[in-house]
Chains A and B, each alone.
Chain A
Amino acid sequence: MRQVRADEYAEFAAAQAGHLYRSACLLTAGDTHLAEDLVQETLGRLYVRWSRVDRADNPAAYARTTLTRTFLAHKRLRRSSERSTDELPETAAATSDTPLRLTLLQALGQLPVKDRAVVVLRYWEDRSVQETAAVLDTSPAAVRTRCVRALARLRALLGEDIGEYARP
C-alpha cells in the first residue's frame, strides 16, 4: 500500500474502530472476544480492498456492512446455532435490579442471528428497511418479516416499558 493510502486507511480505521466494536458487541449479544475478532477481520478486509473502499460513497457504511457480513459468515461456520426457540423464557426485565445492558444483551442473544442483525442494523445503525435489505442481500419484505418477529420477541422478553430501564 502506498504511503498516502496507508495513512488514509490508518486514519479511517482509527476513526471507525470504536463504532465497529460497539456494533460487533451488539451483534454478538455481548461476546466481547468474538466482537474483537470480528472487527479485526473487518478492518483486515478493508485494508486489502482500501483502494476501492476509499472511493465508495460512504466508506463508513461500507465498513459496517462488511462487519455485518463477517458476523453472518462466522455464524454460518458454527457447529451449534442460537436457540431460535419458540419457547419464550421468563421475562428477564421482571427483575428490576437486572441492569438493562445485561437484560438487553440476553434478549438479543435469544434471537436467531439474522433477526438480530436486522435489529442491530435498524435500531442501532438506524438504517432504513431498504438499506438493511441491501446489507443482508435480501428483500425489504424479508427484512420486515424478520423485524416484526424480532420485535415481538423482544417485547415479550423485555416488556413494553423497556424505556424505563434505559432512562433511569
Chain B
Amino acid sequence: MPHDQHAEPDFSDDPFEARLSSALHDAGASFDTDRAALTAAGAAHGRRLRRRQQASVFGAVTVTAVAAVVGGTLVLPGGEGGAAGQPAAPGTSVNPTPKPSDSGVTEQQMITTLQKLLPHGTVSEQTGRGSGEKPGYSATASLVFDDGKGPAAVDVAIDHVPPGTDEAQQTVQCPDKVYIPYDSCTTDRLADGSVVMLLQGYEYPDRRTDTKRWTAELITPTGQHVSVNEWNAAQEKDAPVSRATPPLDRAALTRLAAAPEWRTLVDAIPQRRSHGLAYTQEPGAPVRSTLASLLPKGLAVVGRSSDETGFGYLVVDDGKGASLVQVNVQTGMNDVRDQLFDSGSEELPDGTLVAVHKEPGEKGGKGVVMWTVDSMTPDGRRVVVSAFNSGSQEAAATRKTPALTIAQLRKIALSPQWWQ
C-alpha cells in the first residue's frame, strides 16, 4: 500500500496519472532530431572533457566543476530484486558507508513494530519492505487494522532526511490548500524537539470518492523521519469506505509516529552520501518577504510568489508598468564560481564577487530585458536578483527598462538580511 512499495510504476490506479503518463509518452515520442549528429557531438564533447581532465593532472586546467560533481558520486538507480534485505556486500560500493549497522531494516522488523504499536484490534494482510543495504531507501510496513469499527489500511514508512534542509522542512510543512484540499492540517513541535505534521485529507484531491487519508509526518532533530498513513477503507484505493473516519485520532496517530521504536530502526538504515550538489540546501530567509522588505520606496507590489526559501519573486509597479523582480538564494555554490564570475567581476573587500548582466529575457517575451546582479560570498552563498521590464518573462515588455536600477538591485543582492 505504500506508494513506493513496488519497483514498477505505482500509479496505475489513478486515472489522471495514467492519462498523464500516456500524454507524456505521446508528447515525448513526437520529438526527434538528427541522432547521428547528436551522437557525434556527444563523443566529441567527451574527448574534449577527457583532454581537459588529462591536462588538469598537471595542474594546467581544472575540470569543469559541474562535470566533476556529477562525476565521482553518481548513485546508480537500483531495482529492488536480489539484494534487498541482505547484508551489504563489501567492495561493491565506491565509497561504502562506514556505519556498523548498515545491514538495514528487515520487512519483518517493520511489520512486527507496527503491530506492536497499534492499539487493541485485529490485523491482517501484513506486507512490508526492508530497507536493503542501499543507502537512501525507506523501509515500509502496511496492514489492515480493525478496532471493531471496520477495516482500515495503515502504513508506515521510515527513512532518514538530512535535518535543516529544504527537504526536511517541506516534509512537515502543510501543503497549500490551493493544491490539495484537506479538512485540517497542523504542524507542531513535540517536547523532544521533533516536528510533526498532521494532515486530515482525502485519497483523491478531487474527492471523487470519500476515502479519507490521514497522515502524520514526523522528523526528529537528527533527521529520523517517520511517515504514517491511515485510511477509512481496507485499501488505499479501490476499496469501499468501511467507516466514517480512519481509526487513529490525532493523538493516537501522533503517538504511533513518535514511538522511539521507529527511531531505532531508522538509525539502522544506511544513510545517503551527499553528492555535493545543493539540491536540498535552500537555507536562508524566506525570499519573497525578505525581498519585499528590501524594496526601495515608491513601488507598489502587484503580484507575488509564495514565501519560501530558495526562490521568490514580486511584481512591482512604479506607476510606469509592471516589472518582475525575482531572487534566487543558494548555498554551496563554490564549485561553479568560475562559471558565474570572471575577471570582469567586481570583488568586494570581504571577498564577495559581484557580476552585473544586462541581457534579453530567457523565456521569449517580446522585447523583454533582464537586468541581473549576481553575488557570491567566499563560502559559496549566492544571491541573484533579476529584474525585468515586464510583469512576466513570457509576456511582452510593458516598459523600456525594469523598475529598479542596477544600483538598487546590487543593494538588494548584497543585503545581509538574506542570511538572517
> Could you list which residues of chain A lie within 8 angstroms of chain B, going by C-beta atoms?
9-10, 13-14, 17-18, 21-23, 25-26, 32, 35-36, 39-49, 56-58, 61-62, 65-66, 69-70, 72-74, 76-81, 83-88, 100-101, 104-105, 112, 114, 119-120, 122-124, 126-131, 133-145, 148-149, 151-156, 158, 160-163, 165-167
Contact = CB atoms under 8 A, between A and B. Distances in A.
Contacts of B328: 78-81
B16 A140 contact: no
Which of B15, B76, B386, B393: most chain A CB closer than 10 A?
B76
8 contacts: A10-B43, A21-B33, A40-B45, A47-B42, A114-B279, A127-B9, A139-B136, A156-B179
B26 A133 contact: no
B23 A137 contact: no
Interface residues of B, number: 104
Contact of A87 (B16, B44, B303, B361): B303
Nearest to B175: A149
B375 to A, nearest CB: 11
Interface stretch (B67-75, B117-125, B239-247, B254-262): B67-75
A77 B339 contact: yes
Contact of A77 (B20, B29, B340, B370): B340
B80 interface: yes
Nearest to A137: B275
Contacts of A167: 22
Given A134-B136, A166-B22, 18 more contacts: A10-B39, A18-B35, A25-B31, A43-B43, A43-B45, A45-B46, A45-B67, A85-B306, A100-B23, A123-B24, A126-B9, A130-B7, A133-B4, A139-B225, A144-B3, A145-B175, A148-B180, A166-B19
Interface string B315-342: 0000000000010101001001001100
B357 interface: yes
A156 B287 CA distance: 25
Main secondary structure of the interface of A (DSSP, over half): helix
Interface in B11-51: 11, 15-33, 35-36, 38-39, 41-50
B384 interface: yes
A159 to B, nearest CB: 9
Contacts of A141: 138, 157, 159, 161, 171, 217, 225, 227
B78 interface: yes
A43 B67 CA distance: 12
Contact of B176 (A86, A120, A137): A86
